[in-house]
Amino acid sequence: MKSIKILAPATVANIVCGFDILGLALNHPQDEMEMRCIDKPIITIHHTDDFNLPLVPEQNVAGAALLALINEYPNKNIGFELIINKIIKPGSGLGSSAASSAGAVAGANYLLNNYFGKTDLIRFAMNGEKVASGVKHADNIAPCIYGGVTLVRSTSNLDIIPLTAPPMYVTVVHPQIEVKTSDARQILRKEVLLKDAIQQWGNIAGLVAGFLQNDYELISRSLEDVIIEPIRSILIPGFDEIKKQCKEVGVIGGGISGSGPSVFMFSKDETTANLAEQIMKAIYNKIGINYYTYVTTINKDGVKITDC
Ligand code: HSE
């Protein structure tokens, strides 16, 4: 049976104010996978990276997503062999688990002649997020599958809206500290004040309108999170300083990528994006924390599949 290669992009969930509902795909970094369909109901997973991720399908995010897909496929005599080379570090806040699960189900669907639709694939991949963080959020998976910027209006009755956005550079710093998504969710308050909710709704609506109208000023004004960021930013050394200094050199805005610890900034031009990168590097050099940085753009295509 034929083999395919899969590239699954990193994603920035939340996009500051849209906790669990907004996300976008990045052109860099991307996970690499190889996959084959077999005529036995077995899933085998092999990792060529050093992250020591579980290989039992039920405990592996890609495996859990594939099991959900197989469960809804009429021919029960199918299985998959999957080789994953994770380039997106687990726990980075760059949608590492989503890339594995979305990449796996998109690849499987390609091998099954696109039997399922994109919404089905997102639904299957959400089982991987459940394994990773205990919650079936879709704000990383949706942009990974669709590319671009996506809005998850509802997860109970899955409703994904792909959004257009103006061209933007995205600068990302991934400080080498561990922030588990489950922990970063645990520390959040379970209730919000009405006044904060109103401000947040205004920002989310403003951000979506800004994306659709290519209005950089409106995007900039709307990149404000009064609910999640004040709590989570405490886990990220240098966060306030990165934001302050990046604003001073003219970035559009930014904040925590997903549940962190990565931090991202949007810029209109490459020069500003590179300046933001220099600021991030200088801040973590000073603090003494190792890091990776990426200067990239929004990935319009999502998971990419090619025949071997
Ligand atoms: N929306 C999720 C969170 C994304 O912020 O917890 C996790 O990557």
Of 1.10.150.20, 3.30.230.10, 3.30.479.30, 3.30.980.10, the CATH number of 3-164+299-307 is 3.30.230.10
Residue 69 CA to residue 66 CA, distance in Å, equals: 5
Q: Above 90 in pLDDT, residue 2?
A: no
Pocket test of ligand 1: the residue of 26, 180, 259, 264 to mutate, having most ligand atoms within 8 Å of its CB, is 259
- Tens digit of pLDDT for each residue in 107-140? 999 999 999 999 999 999 999 999 999 999 999 9
181 an active-site residue?
A: yes
Domain 169-297 has CATH 3.40.50.1820: no
Residue 104 CA to residue 96 CA, distance in Å, equals: 12
Question: What region does 157 belong to: left with phi over 0, alpha with psi -120 to 50, or beta?
Answer: beta
CB 131 within 8 A of CB 212: no
pTM of the model: 0.97
With the CA atoms of 28, 34, 37 and 38 taken in that order, what torsion angle do they form, in degrees rounded to the nearest 10?
-150
- Residue spans of the domains in the chain: they are 3-164+299-307, 169-297
Q: How far is the CA of 94 from the centre of ligand 1 (A)?
A: 9
Q: How far is the CA of 38 from the centre of ligand 1 (A)?
A: 34
129 an active-site residue?
A: yes
Q: Above 80 in pLDDT, residue 1?
A: no
Confidence at residue 284, expressed as pLDDT on a 0 to 100 scale: 98
Q: Whose CA is nearest to atom 8 of ligand 1?
A: 258
